[in-house]
Structure 1
């Protein structure tokens, strides 16, 4: 996905749940980072569910974070009921 740095819009992250797990009511967070490591605690932003996808508003006009030009990694974490706390690298994002 490519987004201009001047744009404020939602980044949608598709999520596939493990078999037999309903994630729709589970807390979801998204991290968008420029480094190659796992996101640090302070890099996670509360996202929301929309039609089976997590979404996070990014950009200079009220987004959860404003990104400068560059390449980023998009991560998602979901905490469903039970022992699991899922963390996944979901893809990449280019800010132009």
Structure 2
């Protein structure tokens, strides 16, 4: 995905839950990082559900974070009911 640095918009991360699992009420977080390591605790941002997609508002006009030009790794964390807390690399994002 490519987003201009001047744009404020939702970053959408599609999520496919296992059959029979409802993630609607499960806490979800998104991290957008420029480094190759796993996100640190302070890089996670609380996201929200929009159907089967987690979304986070990013950008200079009220976004959870403002990104400068570059390539970023997008991570998602979902905490469904039970013992699991699932963390996955969701893809990449280019800000131009």
Q: TM-score range by the shorter chain?
A: over 0.9
5+ long unaligned stretches in structure 1: none
Secondary structure at the residue paired with 2:6?
coil
Structure 1 residue runs of 4 or more that deviate by more than 3 Å after TM superposition: none
5+ long unaligned stretches in structure 2: none
Supply the distance in 2 between the matched residues of 1:14 and 1:24 (Cα, whole angstroms). Answer: 13
Q: Please, what TM-score do these two structures have when normalized by structure 2?
A: 0.97
In the TM superposition, residue 21 of structure 1 has moved relative to its aligned partner by 1.9
In the TM superposition, residue 30 of structure 1 has moved relative to its aligned partner by 0.2
Query: Is 1:63 the counterpart of 2:40 in the alignment?
Result: no
In the TM superposition, residue 19 of structure 1 has moved relative to its aligned partner by 3.4
Supply the distance in 2 between the matched residues of 1:21 and 1:82 (Cα, whole angstroms). Answer: 11
Supply the distance in 1 between the matched residues of 2:93 and 2:22 (Cα, whole angstroms). Answer: 27
Q: Deviations over 1:5-33 (max 9, x none)?
A: 00000000001113332111100000000
